[in-house]
Amino acid sequence: MNKIWGLYWRYLISISASVFLLAFFDSQFALMNNIGDTGLWPSVFWGVISLVLLVVTAVQPNGVTYIIFGKRLQLTERVWRQFNLILLVIFVNLVWLGFAASQLFSPELWSIYKLFVQPAILLVVPFIAAWYVTRHDLKLIHWRNGSF
């Protein structure tokens, strides 16, 4: 259970740092001002976060969460890479879900999506993913050792 929480907290720290850095760069360079439709801002925001995760993955294949003292958790590379892939899928899905919500829903439903659905996805899905990848890895280790 400690490995799940360790992985999850590293995710929260890394995504918080990414959000703050992106907000800082947006305030310095007015990146979002070039987008006329404010309904697309969340999609662009999560798209840029996805690109940051992809760039970090090119440098560190275990992902952005591994950079934050990832060795201390002593998880296999398989776990780190699976978790990183799941994070990329989450953020890419946030891009198209945000776009679809802004184009298809009324402003009230779109604001409900932004206020409740996006934060729920960002908090719940990575925790479930951390639980899944660590649990699956432990079963594989026990199976290989013959203690399953």
For the chain (length 148 residues), average pLDDT per consecutive 10?
88 92 86 75 89 92 90 90 95 94 92 94 95 76 54
Whole-prediction pTM = 0.84
* Model pLDDT, residue 58: 94
Give domain limits for the chain.
Answer: 2-145
- Write the secondary structure of the chain as one string of H (helix), E (strand) and C (coil): CHHHHHHHHHHHHHHHHHHHHHHHHHHHHCCHHHCCCHHHHHHHHHHHHHHHHHHHHHHCCCCHHHHCCHHHHCCCHHHHHHHHHHHHHHHHHHHHHHHHHHHHCCHHHHHHHHHHHHHHHHHHHHHHHHHHHHHHHHHHHHHHHCCC
* Model pLDDT, residue 41: 82
